[in-house]
């Protein structure tokens, strides 16, 4: 996911410190600071796909401060993720909160925390569907082996295939359901 925003800040008093404090509040590390350019982010890890808070994913955020103007470039690596609509909403809320915090002096942390909590609940639901798919694949593989009396490698391949199919189906189903809701 890549998003870029730019806006004007009415109060430039300690602007760099306010930007750093905002990102530190959400455990995004300051990677680099030079000449009005601040870089924040997280590095990748082996457990990237199991992180329930999207703000902990591998990311790089560049914030350029020039007088009263802010140009922020957000890059989030979603390759190892389920990349559901709820996870995208967390990042959108985080970005809106960042802009609101610098323009109005007031952040909407409760809104962001609520969005993160909703994402965690939905993520557990998706993991449940993946487990259901894996069990279905295992059951079908066992039935195939018993009917054909052949111990086939196919039965082991069915488990991750069905887990992925059920997970992808549920994510797409949720996206289409929300899209229909917004069309009405």
Higher model confidence: residue 92 or residue 44?
92
Write out the H or E segment, with its range, that includes residue 153. Answer: none
What residues have CB less than 8 Å from 102, skipping those under 6 apart?
A: 7, 9, 15, 18, 19, 22, 70
0.85 surpassed by pTM: no
pLDDT in tens, 99-129: 999 998 877 677 888 888 888 888 888 788 8
The predicted structure's pLDDT at residue 150: 74
The predicted structure's pLDDT at residue 19: 93
Q: Would the pLDDT of 172 be above 70?
A: yes
Give the C-alpha separation, 60 to 74, whole Å.
Answer: 6
Write out the H or E segment, with its range, that includes residue 66. Answer: strand 59-66
Longest dimension (CA), the chain: 76
Q: What is the average per-residue pLDDT within 150-166?
A: 76
Domain 2-111's class?
A: alpha beta
Residue spans of the domains in the chain: they are: 2-111, 124-183
The predicted structure's pLDDT at residue 182: 52
Q: What is the average per-residue pLDDT within 135-160?
A: 78
Residue-averaged pLDDT of the chain:
83
Higher model confidence: residue 91 or residue 158?
91
């Amino acid at each position: 996911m890549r998003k870029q925003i730019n806006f004007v800040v009415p109060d430039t008093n300690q602007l760099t410190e306010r930007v750093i404090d905002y990102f530190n509040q959400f455990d995004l590390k300051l990677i680099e600071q030079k000449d009005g350019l601040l870089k924040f982010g997280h590095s990748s890890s082996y457990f990237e796909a199991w992180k329930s808070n999207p703000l902990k994913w591998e990311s790089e955020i560049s914030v350029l401060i020039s007088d009263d103007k802010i140009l922020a470039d957000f890059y989030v690596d979603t390759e190892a993720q389920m990349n559901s609509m709820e996870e995208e909403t967390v990042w959108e809320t985080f970005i809106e909160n960042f802009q609101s915090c610098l323009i109005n002096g007031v952040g909407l942390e409760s809104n962001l925390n609520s969005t993160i909590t909703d994402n965690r609940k939905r993520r557990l639901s998706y993991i449940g569907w993946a487990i259901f798919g894996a069990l279905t694949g295992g059951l079908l593989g066992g039935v195939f082996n018993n009917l054909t009396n052949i111990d086939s490698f196919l039965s082991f391949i069915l488990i991750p295939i069905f887990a992925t199919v059920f997970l992808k189906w549920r994510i797409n189903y949720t996206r289409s359901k929300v899209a229909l809701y917004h069309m009405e």
